[in-house]
């Protein structure tokens, strides 16, 4: 199985889109998306310097547009899993069929502007904590009255919050850890971004998301989301919620992913995965010259089952890894209401309820009592809308 990944803020490099403009239609596509995002994506991706593309309001739509532009030149129908880091989730949601590319770029423009505005309300920042005992790191972040904004795996946690809190953490670091202050505008993925979440939610409410056509992972908890409106809600919530990329990587391993392709500007996620999951084939797509290797990897590892429903049925899938327990009072042939719990998955963090998104008839159990299941695995088939 192959996963396609979209990177987040911090992965951008000056001029990284320049070689892509040589491809037919690429510049026209970026100019159309520029109109939607409210920024000049062609300038930002080719001529802007490092300082300019560090601006949150500009970086976020630039990264989403770059991932989508890259993916247009790949056989995405053969990719089984998609995921994105932070703002990269918007690109992943488009690649997974939940959003149109136009909606993803538009939301990225709004998200970037509103998060930049929220950063200006109060001085805040972020710092990476490298190494140390995970529990001690989280305790030190809490003691400094900060938030664990990003848990990226591979011994990396990003703390965010007030500047005095960051100074306290730097002065009293956890044992065997190193603190690196990040050059960012503010405390992303914390309650400080609440005004941005509210603004993004107001616009997202006017979008009609579709059901995912691929296994689509969420930064909120690493689970596979098989319901368009739920994914859209999570994309909005993620503005103030921590990025759990560590759990996304765990899900990639649980799914049995054998190769990953990181879209432009690639490198950051490939590095995290290389340190956290051994044995995967990793392809980084930074220029059109890398497309051949990516297509070859997709051809050899792709064509996995997707969430795309059969025209006459909907399929309920597992959102987490664990063991499945169907509802004791539910049998094949029974009617099911939309939102009704049909069972639960026992995970290491506790039970996760499994609900039917559509009303219908439970036509077939696809997993049974105490069966081990992975995120995205089909559990039951619901047919015949009632």
Catalytic residue, chosen from 11, 34, 85, 86, is 86
- Mode of pairing for the β-strands spanning 360-365 and 335-336: antiparallel
- Look up 314 and say whether it is catalytic: no
- Look up 368 and say whether it is catalytic: no
Measure the CA–CA gap between 351 and 325, rounded to whole angstroms: 10
Asked whether the bond before 265 is cis by omega within 30 degrees of 0, the reply is yes
- Mode of pairing for the β-strands spanning 2-6 and 259-262: parallel
**Separation of CA 188 from chain center:** 15
Q: 47 vs 28, 43, 142, CA distance in Å? A: 17, 5, 41
Helices 88-95 and 101-119, interaxial angle, to 10°?
170
Residue 210 near residue 98 (C-beta atoms within 8 A)? yes
Catalytic residue, chosen from 11, 34, 189, 307, is 189
Q: Residue 313: beta bridge partners? A: 383
Closest CA to 109 of 49, 46, 32: 32
Measure the CA–CA gap between 190 and 239, rounded to whole angstroms: 7
Query: How many DSSP H helices and E strands does the chain contain?
Result: 12, 18
Q: Give the E-state strand segments of the chain in sequence order.
A: 2-6, 81-84, 124-131, 147-153, 156-162, 177-182, 215-217, 224-225, 259-262, 281-284, 313-317, 322-326, 335-336, 341-347, 350-355, 360-365, 371-373, 378-383
Grouping H, G, I as helix, E, B as strand and the rest as coil, residue 125 is strand
Measure the CA–CA gap between 84 and 238, rounded to whole angstroms: 12
Catalytic residues: 86, 189
């Amino acid at each position: 199985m192959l996963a396609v990944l979209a990177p987040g803020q911090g992965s951008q490099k000056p001029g990284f889109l320049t070689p892509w403009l040589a491809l037919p239609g690429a510049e026209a596509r970026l100019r159309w998306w520029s109109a939607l995002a409210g920024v000049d994506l062609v300038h930002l991706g080719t001529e802007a310097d490092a300082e300019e593309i560090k601006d949150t309001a500009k970086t976020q739509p630039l990264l989403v547009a770059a991932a989508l532009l890259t993916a247009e030149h790949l056989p995405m129908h053969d990719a089984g899993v998609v995921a994105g880091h932070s703002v990269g989730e918007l690109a992943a949601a488009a690649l997974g069929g939940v959003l149109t590319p136009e909606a993803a770029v538009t939301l990225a423009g709004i998200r970037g502007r509103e998060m930049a505005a929220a950063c200006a309300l109060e001085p805040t920042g972020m710092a990476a904590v490298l190494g140390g005992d995970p529990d001690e790191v989280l305790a030190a972040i809490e003691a400094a009255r900060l938030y664990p904004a990003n848990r990226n795996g591979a011994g990396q946690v990003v703390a965010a919050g007030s500047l005095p809190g960051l100074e306290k953490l730097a002065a009293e670091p956890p044992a065997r850890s190193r603190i690196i202050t990040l050059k960012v505008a503010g405390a992303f993925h914390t309650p400080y971004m609440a005004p941005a979440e509210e603004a993004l939610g107001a616009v997202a409410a006017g979008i009609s998301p579709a059901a995912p056509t691929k296994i689509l992972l969420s930064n909120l908890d690493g689970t596979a989301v098989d319901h368009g409106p739920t994914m859209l809600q999570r994309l909005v919530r993620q503005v103030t919620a921590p990025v759990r990329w560590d759990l996304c990587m765990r899900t990639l391993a649980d799914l049995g992913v054998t190769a990953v392709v990181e879209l432009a500007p690639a490198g950051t996620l490939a590095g995290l995965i290389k340190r956290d999951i051994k044995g995967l084939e990793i392809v980084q797509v930074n220029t059109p010259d890398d497309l051949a290797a990516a297509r070859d990897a997709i051809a050899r590892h792709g064509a996995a089952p997707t969430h795309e429903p059969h025209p006459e049925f909907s399929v309920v899938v597992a959102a987490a890894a664990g063991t499945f327990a169907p509802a004791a009072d539910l049998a094949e042939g029974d009617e099911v209401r939309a939102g009704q719990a049909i069972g639960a998955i026992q995970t290491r963090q506790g039970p996760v309820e499994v609900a039917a998104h559509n009303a219908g008839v439970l036509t077939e159990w696809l997993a049974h009592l105490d069966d081990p299941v992975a995120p995205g695995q089909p559990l039951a088939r619901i047919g015949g809308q009632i």
